[in-house]
């Protein structure tokens, strides 16, 4: 029963030829990897992983609707994505509100999408690909628009970079210094919506987090530098997206599991590195703390407990 | 007096109401260079809201507040702000010095490309002033409460502010760290003439340097020298109920001050340890 023909699952014959066929897909994946890694850093800082998932389900609904209407899937997923992003950005300024709004929007979007797909008379494979992704099925002109959408998102993020970082990490002081948090939040959500709409078509609505959260989460495990983290995250994103396609070419399996696995692996490795490093540091700190106890300095009795009290 | 210095901060008839509840009404206040104003009052008396109103983040019900002669709309980069002490969670993905750098140019659009070196020098100087060079490269969430608050002070001072607003910066600090933070703030106003508005529930750590006290209570206020305000008769009149101000072992203790929300938390009944 369980006879898998491994020669079709893994088969690197004609690899060079295949590579030529998918060169534009690789380009799109690379750009998405960069955009996803960068936007992911802010997603992590603003604690919005759940929002990404919510937006991707509405993006899926939009894409499925477009499929049913016979219009462009790129446009459909873009519209769904932006509507969700703006709704979450406007209605859910506070974290608690946000999560409940996302919780309401997400099943609605997914249900809507499934309805559209059920009504769609076309090929079943293109239905499935919106949920689990298949970049190879995206054609040339579409790929061009995907790259353009990602480029716009990266441009917007670069434009609002510093105030967005300030608002994400230190909103009270940012507001005091004249940063318009509300406005930034909406602009950021639009940029996020753009990236999500592309990711939905490449990895599928269900797996968007693998390119928009995991690379940034991995990078944050090994660094806290505002320069190193986005660069690493973008690198991890490219590694997962491009690496996933390159591996998938050599066989019959879809791209998504490769992308998610590479993405997960980078996170796993980064986590291990981060853990090893903090262990080393805390060992160093205890020894140095013991050696410099100045006589006459009042002992800071409160300090160890402070974090628990706050 | 022959020359009257320009007021850095000026409030005229400023009122703040939330529905029926009056926080403060018809507040007149003029702050001169180098002045240390300590804002006292029960929880919910509108101390923090006053700072938000100065920053233009809390619209006034009536009246005006102006910084160097002009009102602030949505925050201002000429104001240094030390927010209510809330510790960064251990995983916060930013280092102490990055937080200080955001105090230099965090309000500007784009990525920091030009002026990286100048920014770094200013951040180094601000960190040196608070004695924070040693820990500034660590993620801010891994710093102790005292270290985090020193980073906060550096962040507020790095932009060379015209006014310094501090909202309970000493909460959850031990006495040693409290003293250090207060000294840093006091040094700033003595060396640069930056006036300070210092919101606190306990006047004692800053009593020494306080020029004037603004006491908010029961929808009203009193302003004056510490000795004029921190008196049983003045506060009894302000609260409209008997309040006693005692001096125990060099500390000022306010007894019996009611809080507007919750009588179970009489924050001003202080026990002297």
Q: Identify all chain A residues contacting B107, using CB atoms and an 8 Å cutoff.
A: 162-163, 166, 174, 177-179
The secondary structure of residue B173, as a DSSP letter, is -
Pick from A52, A50, A40, A44: nearest CA to A85:
A52
Residue B64 pLDDT > 60, yes or no? Answer: yes
Cβ of residue A180 closer than 8 Å to a chain B Cβ: yes
Residue A289 has a pLDDT of 47
Measured between alpha carbons, how far is residue A135 from residues A141, A260, B84, B195 in Å? 13, 14, 49, 60
* Best-predicted range by mean pLDDT (A218-227, B111-120, B170-179): A218-227
Interacting residues of A263 by C-beta distance below 8 A, sequence separation 6+: A210, A211, A214, A215, A218, A236, A240
Cβ of residue A170 closer than 8 Å to a chain B Cβ: yes
- Mean pLDDT along residues A151-170: 94
Residue B5 has a pLDDT of 62
Residue B4 has a pLDDT of 60
Residue B174 has a pLDDT of 84
Q: Which of residues 240-269 of B touch A (CB under 8 A)?
A: none
Q: Is A211:A237 a contact under the CB 8 Å cutoff?
A: yes
Q: Which of B83, B98, B106 minimises the CB distance to A163? A: B106
Cβ of residue B174 closer than 8 Å to a chain A Cβ: yes
Is pLDDT larger for residue A253 or for residue A156? A156
Cβ of residue A156 closer than 8 Å to a chain B Cβ: no
Residue B47: strand, helix, or coil: helix
Is pLDDT larger for residue A115 or for residue B85? A115
> Order of strands across the sheet with B220-224?
B79-82, B163-167, B196-199, B36-41, B212-217, B220-224
Cβ of residue A74 closer than 8 Å to a chain B Cβ: no
Substitution target from B93, B107, B174 for chain A, most A beta carbons within 10 A: B93
Residue A97 has a pLDDT of 79
Measured between alpha carbons, how far is residue A121 from residues A63, A73, B110, B136 in Å? 15, 15, 47, 61
Residue A285 has a pLDDT of 60
To the nearest whole angstrom, how far is the Cα of A104 from the nearest Cα of chain B? 28
Is pLDDT larger for residue A251 or for residue A103? A103
Q: Is B35:A153 a contact under the CB 8 Å cutoff?
A: no
- Mean pLDDT along residues B101-122: 87
Residue A290 pLDDT > 60, yes or no? Answer: no
Residue A20 has a pLDDT of 76
Q: Identify all chain B residues contacting A178, using CB atoms and an 8 Å cutoff.
A: 74-77, 107
Q: Which of A44, A174, A310 minimises the CB distance to B86? A: A310
- Mean pLDDT along residues B47-75: 89
Alpha carbon distance A10, A258 (integer Å): 12
Cβ of residue B77 closer than 8 Å to a chain A Cβ: yes
Cβ of residue A233 closer than 8 Å to a chain B Cβ: no
Residue A95 pLDDT > 70, yes or no? Answer: no
Substitution target from A49, A154, A173 for chain B, most B beta carbons within 10 A: A173
Q: Which of B94, B106, B165 minimises the CB distance to A179? A: B106
Is A170–B159 a contact, with Cβ atoms under 8 angstroms apart?
no
Residue B177 has a pLDDT of 85
Q: How confident is the model at residue A292 (pLDDT cuts 50, 70, 90)?
A: very low
pLDDT digits over B151-198, tens only?
999 999 999 999 999 998 888 788 888 898 899 899 999 999 999 999
- Mean pLDDT along residues B193-210: 92
- Mean pLDDT along residues B226-249: 87
Cβ of residue B139 closer than 8 Å to a chain A Cβ: yes
To the nearest whole angstrom, how far is the Cα of B133 from the nearest Cα of chain A? 16
Q: pTM score, two decimals?
A: 0.85
What percent of chain A has a predicted confidence (pLDDT) above 70?
84
Is B146–A298 a contact, with Cβ atoms under 8 angstroms apart?
no
Least confident of A164-173, A223-232, A283-292, B205-214: A283-292
- The pair of structure tokens assigned to B117 is 């070196």
CA A246 to chain CA centroid, nearest Å: 20
Residue A148 has a pLDDT of 93
Q: Which of B85, B102, B110 minimises the CB distance to A170? A: B102
Residue B262 has a pLDDT of 42
Residue A294 has a pLDDT of 39
pLDDT digits over A31-76, tens only?
999 999 999 999 999 989 999 999 999 999 999 999 889 888 889 9
Q: How confident is the model at residue A17 (pLDDT cuts 50, 70, 90)?
A: confident
Residue A9 pLDDT > 50, yes or no? Answer: yes
pLDDT digits over B4-36, tens only?
666 889 999 999 998 888 888 899 999 989 999
Q: Which of B86, B108, B174 minimises the CB distance to A303? A: B174
Cβ of residue B49 closer than 8 Å to a chain A Cβ: no
Cβ of residue B179 closer than 8 Å to a chain A Cβ: no
Residue A305 has a pLDDT of 36
Q: Which of residues 23-42 of B touch A (CB under 8 A)?
A: none
Residue B71 has a pLDDT of 84
Substitution target from A178, A234, A301 for chain B, most B beta carbons within 10 A: A178
Helices (H), B95-197: 96-105, 116-129, 145-157, 175-192
pLDDT digits over A197-216, tens only?
999 888 888 888 999 999 99
Alpha carbon distance A270, A281 (integer Å): 16
Least confident of A1-5, A135-139, B7-11, B219-223: A135-139
- Mean pLDDT along residues A128-134: 73
pLDDT digits over A182-194, tens only?
899 999 999 999 9
Is A175–B55 a contact, with Cβ atoms under 8 angstroms apart?
yes
Q: Is A173:B77 a contact under the CB 8 Å cutoff?
A: no
- Mean pLDDT along residues A25-36: 91
- Rounded to 10°, the helix A214-222/A228-249 angle is 130
To the nearest whole angstrom, how far is the Cα of B227 from the nearest Cα of chain A? 31
Q: Identify all chain A residues contacting B102, using CB atoms and an 8 Å cutoff.
A: 162, 165-166, 169-170, 173-174
Residue A221: strand, helix, or coil: helix
Q: Identify all chain A residues contacting B49, using CB atoms and an 8 Å cutoff.
A: none
ipTM of the shown complex: 0.87
Residue A287 has a pLDDT of 56
Is B106–A300 a contact, with Cβ atoms under 8 angstroms apart?
no
Residue A189 has a pLDDT of 94
- Mean pLDDT along residues B45-71: 90
Q: How confident is the model at residue A196 (pLDDT cuts 50, 70, 90)?
A: very high
């Amino acid at each position: 029963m369980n006879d898998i023909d491994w020669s079709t699952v893994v088969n690197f014959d004609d690899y060079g030829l295949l590579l030529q066929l998918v060169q534009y897909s690789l380009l799109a994946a690379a750009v998405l990897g960069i955009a996803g890694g960068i936007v992911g850093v802010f997603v992590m800082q603003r604690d919005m992983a759940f929002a990404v998932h919510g937006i991707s389900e509405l993006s899926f609904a939009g894409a499925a609707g477009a499929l049913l209407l016979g219009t462009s899937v790129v446009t459909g997923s873009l519209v769904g994505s932006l509507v969700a992003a703006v709704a979450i950005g406007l209605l859910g300024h506070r974290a608690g509100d946000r999560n409940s709004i996302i919780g309401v929007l997400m099943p609605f979007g997914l249900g809507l999408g499934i309805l559209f797909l059920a009504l769609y008379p076309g090929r079943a494979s293109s239905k499935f690909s919106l949920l689990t992704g298949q970049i190879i099925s995206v054609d040339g002109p579409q790929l061009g628009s995907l790259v353009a959408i990602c480029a716009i998102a990266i441009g917007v993020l670069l434009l609002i970079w510093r105030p967005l970082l300030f608002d994400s990490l230190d909103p009270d002081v940012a507001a005091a210094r004249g940063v318009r948090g509300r406005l930034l939040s909406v602009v950021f959500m639009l940029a996020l919506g753009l990236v999500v709409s592309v990711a939905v078509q490449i990895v599928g609505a269900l797996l968007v987090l693998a390119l928009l959260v995991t690379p940034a989460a991995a990078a944050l495990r090994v660094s806290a530098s505002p320069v190193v983290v986005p660069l690493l995250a973008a690198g991890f994103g490219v590694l997962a997206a491009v690496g996933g396609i390159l591996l998938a070419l050599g066989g019959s399996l879809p791209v998504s599991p490769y992308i998610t696995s590479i993405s997960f692996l980078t996170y796993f490795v980064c986590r291990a590195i981060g853990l090893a490093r903090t262990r080393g540091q805390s060992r160093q700190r205890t020894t140095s703390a013991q050696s410099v106890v100045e006589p006459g300095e009042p002992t800071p009795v409160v300090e160890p407990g402070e974090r628990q009290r706050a | 007096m022959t020359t009257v210095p320009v007021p850095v901060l000026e409030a005229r008839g400023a009122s703040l109401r939330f529905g029926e509840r009056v926080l403060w009404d018809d507040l007149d206040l003029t702050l001169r260079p180098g002045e240390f104003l300590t804002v006292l009052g029960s929880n919910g008396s509108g101390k923090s809201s006053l700072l938000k109103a100065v920053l233009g983040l809390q619209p006034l019900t009536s009246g005006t507040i102006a910084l160097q002669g002009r009102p602030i709309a949505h925050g201002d980069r000429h104001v240094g702000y030390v927010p209510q002490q809330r510790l960064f969670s251990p995983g916060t993905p930013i280092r102490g010095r990055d937080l200080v750098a955001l105090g230099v140019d965090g309000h500007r659009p784009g990525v920091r490309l030009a002026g990286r070196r100048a920014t770094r020098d200013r951040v180094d100087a601000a960190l040196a002033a608070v004695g924070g060079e040693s820990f500034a490269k660590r993620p801010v969430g891994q710093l102790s409460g005292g270290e985090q608050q020193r980073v906060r002070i550096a962040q507020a001072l790095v932009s060379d502010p015209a006014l310094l607003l501090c909202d309970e910066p000493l909460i959850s600090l031990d006495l040693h760290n409290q003293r250090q933070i207060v000294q840093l703030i006091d040094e700033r106003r003595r060396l640069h003439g930056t006036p300070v508005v210092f919101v606190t529930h306990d006047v004692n750590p800053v009593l020494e340097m306080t020029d004037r006290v603004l006491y908010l209570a029961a929808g009203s206020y009193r302003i004056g020298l510490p000795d004029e305000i921190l008196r049983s008769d003045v506060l009894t009149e302000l609260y409209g109920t008997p309040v006693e101000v005692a001096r125990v072992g060099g500390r000022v203790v306010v007894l019996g001050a009611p809080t507007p929300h919750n009588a179970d938390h009489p924050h001003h009944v202080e026990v002297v340890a």
